[in-house]
Amino acid sequence: MTPQAAMFAETVLRVRDLGKEYRLYSSPRQRLKAVLTGRSTHRSHWALREVSFDLQRGQCIGIVGDNGAGKSSLLKLLAGTLRPTTGSIERIGRVTAILELGAGFHPEFSGRDNLYFGGSMIGISREEMVRLEPEIIEFSGLAEAIDRPVKTYSSGMAVRLAFALVTAVQPDVLIVDEALAVGDQQFQKKCIDRITAFREAGCTILFCSHSPYHVRTLCDQALWLEHGRMREFGDTEAVLGAYETHSRQREAPVEVAEAAAPPPLPYERGPTSALIVSCELSNLREGNPGLLDSRDLVATITVRGKGDERPNIGFMIEQARGVGITSLATHEEGAAPVYLGDRTWRSVLTFPELPLHSGDYVISVFLFDESGLVTYDLWFKFLTFRFLSPKLMPGLVRLPHHWS
């Protein structure tokens, strides 16, 4: 084994029979009575039970599960902000957690003072902070506001400063919750780039997300939690496939929205924003849903990129009241969009002899950055079309086959 391979085979996080119990009392008086008498009348809620796994240096694990499955409790235990009720956690090296970003800032202190205050809380000495301060401020993009009290910051500004602070020094283990709602496209991309760089340098990452796309793209393995217990742990695709099947079987069918304008993004679109301009289907009759008057499905997608960066385009077809059928992306297939000038790009996607059975189908379009990790824009389930197959057999798709 080479020295580099040996380094990446090192176990940096070992979890054994981890459990977290919360004691619930019917009232504050009952809690006080239990303290005074030593006789407890609480109800036990176990957020986690019997969780065990090892992580090697350089691994990236995605944590998935429904709300209330125990994901946040697990991350807080691993970060050291909660104490386990049962079991043990062994950590090697520096652990950095991106959980509730900005929650520990003092509102009366300036942004600069909070860097030193917050830095001391995560083990950055004052001398080291003097050296890191210019880089942190530059990364956050808050130079003009850095000497203002944090109470005057928007929530997005506080998150940006907190992210820049907690990732200023590469950790051995990075824990990322759903806290990367950093607002604008440019800073979201910087965050993803920094996390990716950490991973490539051998940082172990635990990534909790409700985005299957990002879990698939970033993670080597996945952990599925259900009611506080490990349901599955292993290769990302196998675990996500099982979790998504479970979710579809549990949920009631969702009505498909009528074709409408694409939904707004959670941030303001400006003249420099990257966005989807249009998606047009050839040979689509007017109607709701429109009838695809062709055996071929041809989608022409036009987007506006960001600066000189070449964007990537994603396309998804789903059954109108059922399951996903296919999802494609230019960066996955080496099919770069064509540049039209003035930051405009276009891709034409053709499905010859569309192998679907008759039915109603819904389309989503995605705009990614050059790496394929940052989602700049999405038109989710924005268009429904009807397809009439010449084959009258039941089913969903016609698979390649032969008889013998």
Query: pLDDT of 32-69, one tens digit each?
Result: 777 677 676 767 788 999 999 998 888 899 999 988 88
- Domain-located, residue 158: yes
- Judge if 217 and 292 occupy the same domain: no
- Judge if 224 and 349 occupy the same domain: no
- Judge if 241 and 302 occupy the same domain: no
Reply yes or no on whether the pLDDT at 252 is more than 60. no
- Domain-located, residue 259: no
Domain at 25, CATH number: 3.40.50.300
Reply yes or no on whether the pLDDT at 28 is more than 70. yes
The tally of CA atoms less than 13 A away on the side-chain side of residue 51 is 34
- Domain-located, residue 395: no
- Domain-located, residue 348: yes
- Judge if 43 and 128 occupy the same domain: yes
- Domain of residue 128, residue span: 8-249
The average pLDDT across 303-308 equals 90
- Please provide residue 72's backbone torsions phi and psi, each rounded to the nearest 5 degrees: -65, -35
- Domain-located, residue 53: yes
Q: Give me the pLDDT at residue 87, please.
A: 93
Reply yes or no on whether the pLDDT at 183 is more than 60. no
d(CA 40, CA 44): 11
- Judge if 282 and 220 occupy the same domain: no
- Judge if 243 and 304 occupy the same domain: no
- Domain-located, residue 168: yes
- Domain-located, residue 186: yes
- Judge if 225 and 301 occupy the same domain: no
pTM for the whole structure: 0.71
Q: What is the number of domains present in the chain?
A: 2
Domain at 368, CATH number: 2.70.50.60
CA distances (Å), origin 238, targets 4, 12, 271, 281: 28, 24, 41, 33
- Domain-located, residue 302: yes
The token pair that represents 142 in the structure block = 């808050």
**Strand 204-208 relative to strand 60-64, pairing:** parallel
- Judge if 202 and 69 occupy the same domain: yes
Reply yes or no on whether the pLDDT at 212 is more than 90. no
- Judge if 323 and 361 occupy the same domain: yes
- Judge if 226 and 309 occupy the same domain: no
| Tokens 């496939």 -> residue | 241
Q: Give me the pLDDT at residue 251, please.
A: 61
- Judge if 56 and 173 occupy the same domain: yes
Query: pLDDT of 375-389, one tens digit each?
Result: 889 999 999 998 888
Q: Give me the pLDDT at residue 147, please.
A: 93
Residue 50: alpha-carbon gap to chain centroid:
26
Mean pLDDT across the chain: 83
- Judge if 214 and 333 occupy the same domain: no
